[in-house]
Structure 1
Amino acid sequence: MASVDLTLAWSSEQEEKEIAPAFIEKLEELLKLAGELEGVTEGEVALTFVDDETIQDLNKQYRNLDKPTDVLSFAMSEFGDDEIQINYEDDGEDADGELAEGETVSEAFIEPLGDIIISVPRAIAQAEDYGHSVERELGFLFVHGFLHLIGYDHQSEEEEKVMFAKQEDILQKAGLTR
């Protein structure tokens, strides 16, 4: 089974917490576990840690809510009527002809699943409120964001139960307990 690739993009505005390489490995483990659980075998997730001001600006711009939030997810697979879907059909070579022998452009291209933006100050405050580690809270928010990227939501009580049960299962398997 192919794994999901994790790309971590840093925000220059996030100075609340140093993100250790060992924690990045934990996030990669969470992504792999979530992908396996949901049958997502390929794709790329861009993760950015930000401060409250940045996430509040994004929340206002994209959700018309002028307040900070803990996590935002922007799925790449949501196509509206006015968006163009790009198909990567090919003849086996990219523009530079740099593909491996027998590899096609669609095989070389890692499809972006979307972006997850996490407010580190919100995660720190919530970890304190819930009485668990900041790493557990960041892991929870990351898995929560990933499930949104692949179509889960929690608008109804039933949807929330399903989504939160999946989150808890993934976190438990990765050893990020309360």
Structure 2
Amino acid sequence: MKLQLAFSNDQNEIEISEEWIQQLEELLQIAGQSENISSGEVTLTFVDDKSIHQLNKQYRGIDTPTDVLSFAMQDSGFEETEIFYEDDFEFDEVTTMLGDVVISVTTAKRQSEEYGHSLQREIGFLFVHGFLHLIGYDHQDEQSEKEMFNKQEQILLEAGLTR
């Protein structure tokens, strides 16, 4: 079994090539291996700044666009409502939904230009960042930020996405 990537492109600013999707699938496998996660599904959605701005405001209370958002499905936070299904609903025991990653290609393009690397590398960086959030990593303090960013760079390096 391997990690699965489902994606949708909900923006018209930048063409998302099949090559990019293949590279993101490879990044997902490398990231999963590095964290001993061999199965599950991640949904990736490409949006523009307007869409991610709305999501950021709605779900995080921050009234500005951002580069990437992650919505983990495996979190069981204190205030989350438990979902009950009817008895005849059958779960797919094989595939666990890890969560959703949403990337603003508008912001990714701007950041790639600011940092002086390719848009492909920036989108890869944001995707790995989002994936690590889905599996529990965070960067609330300097130590956890350093650990998370080191993991990201190692995964990107292994995939050949260097600066």
Same-fold status (TM-score > 0.5): yes
Secondary structure, aligned partner of 1:66: coil
Give the Cα–Cα distance (whole angstroms) in 1 for the partners of residues 139 and 149 of structure 2: 9
Sequence identity percentage: 56
Find the partner of 2:124 among 136, 139, 148. Answer: 139
Residues 42, 101 of structure 2: 8 Å contact kept: yes
Q: Among residues 60, 70, 74, which one is paired with 2:71 in the alignment? A: 74
Contact 2:9–2:16 at 8 Å: present in 1 too?
no
Tell me, which stretches of 5 or more residues in structure 1 are unaligned?
A: 96-104
Q: Give the Cα–Cα distance (whole angstroms) in 2 for the partners of residues 136 and 51 of structure 1.
A: 18
- C-alpha displacement of 1:80: 3.0
**1:153: which partner in 2?**
138
- What are the within-5 Å matches in structure 2 for residues 30-49 of structure 1? 30-49=27-46
Contact 1:3-1:32 at 8 Å conserved across structures: yes
* Aligned partner (choices 111, 114, 127) of residue 126 of structure 1: 111
- Structure of larger gyration radius: 1
1:83 to 81, 90, 93: 81
Specify the code of the residue in structure 1 equivalent to 2:42. Answer: V
Per-residue CA distance 1:4-26 (angstroms, 9 max, x = gap) = 00001221xx1111011011000
Matched AA of 2:4: D
2:57 is aligned to 60
Shift of 1:85: 5.9
Q: 1:86 to 1:9 in 2, by over 3 A?
A: farther
Contact (CA 8 Å) 1:73, 1:148: kept in 2 or not? yes
Aligned residues: CA RMSD: 1.9
Give the distance between the partners of 1:9 and 1:86, measured in 2 at CA: 28
Which amino acid in 2 is paired with 1:137? E
CA displacement at 1:53 relative to structure 2: 0.4
Q: Which residue of 2 aligns with 1:102?
A: none
Instruction: Determine the C-alpha separation between the residues in 2 that align with 1:86 and 1:176.
Output: 42
Q: Deviations over 1:33-70 (max 9, x none)?
A: 00000011111000000000000000000111100000
Residue 11 of structure 2 corresponds to residue 5 of structure 1: no
User: What is the letter of the counterpart of residue 121 of structure 2?
Assistant: R
Q: Which runs of 4+ in 1 moved over 2 A?
A: 80-83, 105-108
Q: TM-score, normalised by structure 2?
A: 0.92
1:111–1:137 distance in 2 versus 1, CA, 3 Å: same
Q: May I ask how many residue pairs the two structures share in their alignment?
A: 161
Provide the C-alpha distance between the structure 1 equivalents of 2:108 and 2:66, rounded to a whole number of angstroms: 10
What letter is aligned with 2:8? A
